[in-house]
């Protein structure tokens, strides 16, 4: 695909994301507040946040056009493999309008964690997501522990520290 097409898709995706969320709701969700419930379709049936009560949930919002998402998926695979048996559940919510875009992304960047689909962006609006990727760490009690926007190699250690602290384990 030509470079200008990639830029156009990325720009249109960002415009779509911005248009989904009114400026009055621009602030992110607060740590300590209850995480908004969701019930979204997934490959193996509906994904409901309430079904994961008692687990620490790393909730990630992503889209196929998001460059940093390609970096975050291998890391999330590692976190799920490393801490899944200790109570971590990674859930990644795709916000692409077209399911084919998500399938193409997942074919090149596989996920070994739960994927949910929200083409209308309602869950991202509930969580007041401002950009891709964005993550929300949710404790076993259903309360938000932390919110993080973006993903880069420098963020990995801090995000893992937050996960291990929430799980009460050492890395």
> Using CA atoms, how far apart are residues 128 and 171, in angstroms rounded to an integer?
30
The predicted pLDDT at position 28 comes to: 62
Comparing 108 with 17, the larger pLDDT belongs to 108
- The residue-averaged pLDDT of 126-141 equals 95
pLDDT band at 26 (very low <50, low <70, confident <90, very high): very low
Please name which of 72, 92, 66, 69 lies closest in space to residue 14, comparing C-alpha atoms.
66
């Amino acid at each position: 695909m030509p470079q200008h097409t990639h830029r156009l898709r990325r720009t249109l995706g960002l415009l779509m994301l911005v248009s989904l969320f009114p400026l009055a709701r621009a602030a992110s969700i607060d740590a300590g507040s209850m995480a908004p419930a969701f019930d979204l379709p997934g490959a193996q049936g509906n994904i409901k946040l309430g079904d994961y009560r008692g687990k620490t949930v790393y909730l990630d919002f992503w889209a196929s056009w998001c460059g940093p998402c390609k970096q975050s998926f291998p890391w999330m695979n590692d976190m799920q493999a490393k801490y899944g048996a200790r109570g971590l559940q990674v859930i990644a919510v795709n916000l692409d309008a077209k399911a084919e875009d998500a399938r193409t992304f997942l074919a090149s960047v596989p996920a070994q964690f739960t994927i949910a689909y929200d083409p209308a962006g309602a869950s991202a609006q509930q969580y007041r997501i401002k950009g891709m990727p964005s993550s929300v760490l949710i404790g076993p009690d259903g309360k938000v522990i932390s919110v993080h926007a973006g993903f880069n190699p420098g963020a990995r250690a801090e995000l893992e520290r937050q996960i291990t602290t929430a799980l009460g384990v050492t890395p």
